[in-house]
Structure 1
Amino acid sequence: MRRLLGSTAALLLASCPLAACAGGSDAGGSAASPTSQPDSGYVVSDELVSQTAGDGEIAQVATPLPDQAAVDDFTRGLADSLAAKVDEAVRRTQVASGQQLYGQVVAVGCDVPPAVTVERDPVAVQPEPVTSPKQECFAPVTTVALVVVLD
């Protein structure tokens, strides 16, 4: 099932400032960006958190984030500032009874995915392809997907 983000252009500009992508030295990033439409399947919500020079490695499956200890373990390989953004996004995310929060690093490169697809058993988040990928950038952008799914 395809999940689209609210404003792809705004997300791309916020998560990879022109100076950082075009060879400048700004290592800024974006706060979490929510999707723009509700899901009619088992995905309750999803959100992408991206930052230039955020570190981390792409994962094949999502990690359950049932408590703060799990969030701390999940963010351990990320740059401190991206870990803080992910932690803040997790704290804002509402998870009701019968739902589970997962996190996954879905991209590390010059581009932020415009959307993600969430698969089940095991929960895995796949980034949608970028329409016009950048050929090079000053520093890679790390994108973390946070998804809430029905148990």
Structure 2
Amino acid sequence: MMRSAPVRIVLAATLATVTLSACGQSDGGGADSATEPTSSAPTSEESAPEPGDSASATGGEGATSTGGGAVLVAGETATTTTTRIISVSNADGEVSPRPVPLEDRAALDDFVSGFGADLGPQVRDAVRGIDVPAGQTLMGAVVAVGCDEPTGIELAQTFDGYEVTGIVPKVGVQCMVAMTSVALFLVETP
């Protein structure tokens, strides 16, 4: 019995080494390979979202996806919403699934207070550029902190309100400084 203990340790170490060495390797098949995300080049002049247009809730930095918004039953997922995503490196902030209504200046001040010097002003400028139609509320949420920029959001109605998740492509970019991504979007006012 004493002799089998060292053999078990060597066997376990060998198994762990073989298992770990296979991590990150691909046989060249499409299942593990990432594709380059498509994005439009940022422009100096961005248009504000227009209500009533229909599109999915995806797009790159500065991209807008628009829709009339719909009242969702708890557990349903929104298929369209007006979305603007702003991403800035080294901007602080924590991801939260609960969006914040940005109904007035005090709410906006509170929302951007934890952001760095670059992200706060960009969010303020974006909010000023969004026309909020009657019957809708502008919401904001930090949807990602990391190396990969979200291409859109998933929005769901729960019993506690809205829940938002950033759609982050599986690109696997390595970075020295993480980006903080804020989503601004319109929802129907309850």
Aligned-pair CA distance for 1:40: 5.8
Aligned-pair CA distance for 1:120: 2.1
Q: How big is each residue's C-alpha offset from its partner over 1:50-75, in whole Å with a ceiling of 9 and x where there is no partner?
A: 10111111112000110011000000
- Cα RMSD after superposing both structures: 2.2
Provide the secondary structure at the position in 1 that maps to 2:133: coil
Higher RCO (CA 8 Å, separation ≥ 6 residues): 1
1:76 aligns with 2:83: no
Q: Is the CA contact (8 Å cut-off) linking 2:148 and 2:172 kept in structure 1?
A: yes
Question: Considering only CA atoms, is the larger Rg found in Structure 1 or Structure 2?
Answer: 2
2:13 corresponds to: none
1:124 aligns with 2:163: yes
Q: Is the CA contact (8 Å cut-off) linking 1:8 and 1:114 kept in structure 2?
A: no
Aligned-pair CA distance for 1:133: 2.1
Q: How big is each residue's C-alpha offset from its partner over 1:34-92, in whole Å with a ceiling of 9 and x where there is no partner?
A: 32x43364254110011011111111200011001100000011002100000000000
Q: Is the CA contact (8 Å cut-off) linking 2:83 and 2:152 kept in structure 1?
A: no
Q: Distance in 2 between matches of 1:95 and 1:41?
A: 12
Q: Distance in 1 between matches of 2:129 and 2:87?
A: 16
Q: Distance in 2 between matches of 1:8 and 1:82?
A: 24
1:9 aligns with 2:47: no
- Choose between structure 1 and 2: higher strand proportion: 1
User: Structure 2 stretches of 5 or more lacking a match?
Assistant: 1-36, 44-60, 71-79
Moved more, 124-133 or 96-105: 124-133
Q: In structure 1, what residue type is equivalent to 2:130?
A: T
**Residue number among 64, 76, 85 corresponding to 1:48 in the alignment:** 85
Provide the secondary structure at the position in 1 that maps to 2:185: strand
Runs of 4 or more off by more than 6 Å in structure 1? none
1:39 corresponds to: 67
**Residue number among 123, 127, 137 corresponding to 1:90 in the alignment:** 127
Structure-1-length-normalised TM-score: 0.74
Q: Is the CA contact (8 Å cut-off) linking 1:44 and 1:150 kept in structure 2?
A: no
Provide the secondary structure at the position in 1 that maps to 2:118: helix
1:133 corresponds to: 172
Quick one: percent identity of the two aligned structures? 33
1:150 corresponds to: 188
Q: Distance in 1 between matches of 2:138 and 2:155?
A: 12
CA shift in 2, pair 1:118/1:8, >3 Å: farther
Q: Distance in 1 between matches of 2:157 and 2:97?
A: 12
Q: How many residues are paired up?
A: 125
Structure-2-length-normalised TM-score: 0.60
Q: In structure 2, what residue type is equivalent to 1:54?
A: A
